Chains A and B, each alone.
Chain A
Amino acid sequence: MKDKLNSLKEQALGEIAAAGGLAELNDIRVKFLGKKGELTAILRGMGTLTAEERPLIGQIANEVREAIEQAINQKMSELKENERQEKLNKETIDVTLPGRPFMIGKRHPLTTVLDEIKEIFLGLGFEIAEGPEVELDYYNFEALNFPADHPARDMQDSFYISPGVLLRTHTSPVQPRVMEKKAPHIPVKVIAPGKVYRRDDDATHSPMFHQVEGFVIDKEISFSDLKGILLTVVRQMFGADRQIRLRPSFFPFTEPSAEVDVSCMSCNGSGCRVCSHTGWLEILGSGMIHPNVLKMSGYDPEQVTGFAFGLGIERIAMLKYGIDDLRLLFDNDKRFLAQF
Chain B
Amino acid sequence: MRVSYKWLKEYVDIPVSPEELAERMTMTGVAVENIEYMGKNLNKIVTARIETISPHPNADKLVVCQINTGSENLQVVTGAPNVREGQVVLLALVGATLPDMKITRAKLRGVESFGMLCSAQELGLDPENFPPEQRNGILEFPGDTPLGVDVKELLGLDDVILELELTPNRADCLSMVGVAREVSAVLGTALKLPEINVTETEESIDGKVSININEPELCGRYVGRLIRNVKIGPSPNWMQQRLQAAGVRPISNMVDVTNYVMLELGQPLHAFDYGKLKDQTIIVRRAEEGEKLYSLDNVERTLTSDMLVITDPAGPAAIAGVMGGLESEITDSTTSVLLEAAYFKPASIHRTSKNLNLRSESSMRFEKGIDINGCLNAANRACQLIQEMGAGEIVSGFVDNHPSPSGNTVIRLRPDRIKLIVGVEVPGDRIKEIMLNLGFNVKEDGGDFLVEVPTRRGDISLEIDLIEEVARLYGYNNIPITLPEGASTEGRKTEVQAAVDRILDLMTECGLNEIITLSFMNPRNFDMLNLPMDDSRRVAVTVENPLSEEQRVLRTTVLPGLLDILARNSARKNKDLAMFEVGRVFVPVIGEKLPKEILTLGAVVSGKTPGNWQVRSYEMDFYYLKGILESLFRALNISGYSFVPEKGNHAFHPGRAASVRLNNEDIAVIGEIHPSVTENYKLNERVYAMEVNLEKVINACKGLKRIEPLPKYPSMERDMAIVVQRDVHAGEIIDDIKKNGGKLLKRVELFDIYEGEQIEKGYKSLAFALQFQAADRTLTDEEVTDAYEKIRNALSQTHNAQLRA
Contacts and interface: CB of A to CB of B under 8 A. Distances in A.
A125 to B, nearest CB: 4
Nearest to B599: A130
Given A103-B609, A151-B350, A161-B544, A256 B422 contact: yes
A127 interface: yes
Contacts of B481: 224, 227-228, 231
B472 A162 contact: no
A136 B594 contact: yes
B482 A105 contact: no
A271 interface: no
A106 B613 contact: no
Given A133-B597, A247-B29, A291-B462, A227 B489 contact: no
Interface in A249-266: 249-250, 255-258
Interface of B: 26-29, 31, 167-170, 346-347, 350-351, 354, 420-424, 462, 464-465, 467-468, 471-472, 476-477, 479-494, 497, 501, 504, 507-520, 541-547, 551, 554, 565, 568-569, 572, 574, 577-580, 583-584, 586, 593-595, 597, 609-615
A219 interface: yes
A207 B513 contact: no
Interface in A134-167: 134-136, 148-151, 154-156, 159-162, 164-165, 167
Contact of B511 (A104, A199, A291, A334): A104
B614 to A, nearest CB: 5
Contact of B593 (A136, A151, A187): A136
A199 B545 contact: yes
B614 A100 contact: yes
B226 to A, nearest CB: 34
B354 to A, nearest CB: 7
A338 to B, nearest CB: 7
A334 B577 contact: yes
A222 B482 contact: yes
A223 B512 CA distance: 44
A329 interface: yes
DSSP majority for the B interface? loop
A248 B185 CA distance: 15
Contacts of A219: 486
Interface stretch (A21-29, A37-45, A77-85, A107-115): A107-115
Interface stretch (A50-58, A66-74, A116-124): A116-124
Nearest to A258: B476
Interface bin, chain A: 35 or more
Given A258-B476, A332-B579, A223 B490 contact: no
Given A161-B544, A228-B481, A189 B420 contact: no
A109 B729 CA distance: 42
Interface of A: 97-108, 110-111, 115, 118, 121-128, 132-136, 148-151, 154-156, 159-162, 164-165, 167, 186-187, 189, 195, 197, 199, 201, 206-208, 216, 218-225, 227-229, 231-232, 245-250, 255-258, 288, 290-291, 305, 329-335, 337-338
Contact of A101 (B27, B597, B610): B610
A305 B465 CA distance: 15
Given A105-B508, A107-B504, A160-B543, 9 more contacts: A103-B510, A103-B512, A127-B491, A159-B546, A195-B519, A221-B484, A256-B421, A256-B467, A258-B476
A105 B544 contact: no
Contacts of A255: 464-465, 467-468
Given A225-B423, A335-B574, A220 B514 contact: no
B545 A216 contact: no
Given A219-B486, A291-B464, A134 B513 contact: no
Contacts of A189: 489, 491
A50 B554 CA distance: 115
A162 B423 contact: no
B28 A121 contact: no
B406 to A, nearest CB: 18
A332 B565 contact: yes
A100 B510 contact: no
22 contacts: A98-B614, A106-B508, A107-B514, A110-B516, A126-B489, A151-B168, A155-B544, A155-B545, A195-B584, A197-B519, A229-B483, A247-B26, A247-B31, A250-B167, A255-B464, A255-B467, A256-B468, A330-B518, A332-B579, A333-B568, A335-B574, A338-B513
A232 B594 contact: no
Contacts of B354: 154, 156
B789 to A, nearest CB: 43
A103 B512 CA distance: 8
A248 B477 CA distance: 10
A108 B514 contact: yes
Contacts of A206: 518
Contact of B504 (A111, A118, A135): A111
A150 B168 CA distance: 9
A335 B513 CA distance: 11
Nearest to B572: A333
B687 to A, nearest CB: 15
In order of increasing CB-CB distance, the 7 nearest A-B pairs are A103-B511, A224-B423, A222-B423, A248-B29, A250-B167, A149-B347, A101-B610
B338 to A, nearest CB: 30
A224 B27 contact: no
Contact of A97 (B31, B584, B614): B614
Contacts of A127: 489, 491-492, 494
A64 B347 CA distance: 118
Contacts of B476: 223, 246-248, 256, 258
A229 B554 CA distance: 36
A105 B480 contact: no
A125 B423 contact: no
B167 A128 contact: no
A127 B220 CA distance: 49
A100 B491 contact: no
A258 to B, nearest CB: 6
A179 B466 CA distance: 26
B723 to A, nearest CB: 36
Contacts of A290: 464
A106 B510 CA distance: 10
A128 B477 contact: no
A107 B422 contact: no
B208 to A, nearest CB: 37
A8 B81 CA distance: 130
A225 B514 contact: no
B484 A225 contact: yes
A208 B520 contact: yes
A162 B544 contact: yes
A229 B486 CA distance: 14
Contacts of A257: 468
A180 B168 CA distance: 28
A250 B423 contact: no
Contact of A334 (B547, B574, B615): B574
A107 B506 CA distance: 11
B513 A334 contact: yes
A222 B420 contact: yes
B480 A224 contact: yes
A104 B422 CA distance: 50
Contacts of A136: 593-594
A335 to B, nearest CB: 6
A338 B577 CA distance: 11
Contact of A220 (B169, B420, B501, B516): B420
Given A127-B492, A256-B467, A218 B545 contact: no
B493 A122 contact: yes
A216 B489 CA distance: 11
A335 B1 CA distance: 45
Given A133-B584, A136-B594, A165-B593, A99 B541 contact: no
A125 B488 contact: yes
B14 to A, nearest CB: 20
Contacts of B504: 107, 111
A229 B489 CA distance: 14
Contact of A256 (B472, B482, B610): B472
Name the residue in B420, B511, B595 with the highest tally of chain A Cβ atoms < 10 Å from its Cβ: B420
